[in-house]
């Protein structure tokens, strides 16, 4: 789905670039301003020219570009949230058994009792260091 959105987005952007490049630029200088103003004010077919059609096509393609950008961003955000939720649900629930070993729900040993004690000692040591650093 994301690949299809990216392909559509790229096609729309290429069409937008082509349509903008096909338009005529404004003429420079005072003569261009006078001639351009007279042409648009007195022109009979000002709505039927190629430039007018290209302006309309540009507006439509620009709206499609914005819509595809929003759709792609929304899809990416939703996919990222779904991935985070999947990772959170894959966390293993563990508990200590009678011997002090860390075991999962099926009874498989994840950490031995010695490793659990070492991890607890390191965690308390780090917590003390963090507390000491905050008070200084």
Dump pLDDT digits (tens) for 86-136: 666 666 677 888 888 888 777 788 788 888 888 888 888 888 877 665 555
3-state secondary structure of 3: helix
> pLDDT (tens digit, 9 = 90+) per residue, 26-84?
665 445 555 555 555 555 555 568 888 888 999 999 999 999 999 999 998 888 887 77
Query: Is there a single domain that holds both residue 24 and residue 37?
Result: yes
Domain check: are 116 and 130 in the same one? yes
Same domain, 20 and 59: yes
Same domain, 130 and 98: yes
Shared domain for 82 and 20, answered yes or no, is yes
Q: 113 and 82, same structural domain? A: no
Q: Within this chain, do residues 83 and 101 fall inside the same structural domain, yes or no? A: no
110 in the same domain as 52: no
Domain with 115 in it: 94-135
36 & 77 share domain:
yes
β-bridge mates for residue 102, sequence order: 96, 111
Residues 72 and 115 in one domain: no
Q: Rounded to whole angstroms, how far apart are CA atoms 122 and 127?
A: 9
- Please indicate, yes or no, whether residues 69 and 129 belong to a single structural domain of this protein: no
* Total domains, the chain: 2
Task: Please state, in angstroms and rounded to a whole number, the distance separating the CA atoms of residues 113 and 99.
Answer: 7
């Amino acid at each position: 789905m994301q690949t299809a959105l990216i392909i559509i987005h790229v096609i729309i952007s290429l069409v937008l670039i082509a349509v903008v490049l096909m338009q005529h630029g404004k003429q420079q200088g005072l003569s261009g301003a006078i001639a351009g103003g007279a042409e648009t004010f007195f022109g009979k077919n000002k709505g039927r020219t190629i430039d007018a059609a290209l302006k309309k096509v540009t507006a439509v393609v620009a709206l499609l570009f914005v819509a595809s950008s929003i759709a792609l961003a929304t899809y990416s955000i939703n996919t990222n949230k779904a991935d985070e939720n999947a990772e959170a649900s894959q966390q293993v629930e563990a508990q200590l058994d009678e011997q002090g070993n860390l075991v999962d729900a099926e009874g498989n040993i994840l950490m031995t009792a010695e490793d659990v004690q070492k991890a607890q000692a390191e965690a308390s040591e780090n917590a003390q260091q963090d507390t000491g650093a905050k008070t200084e």
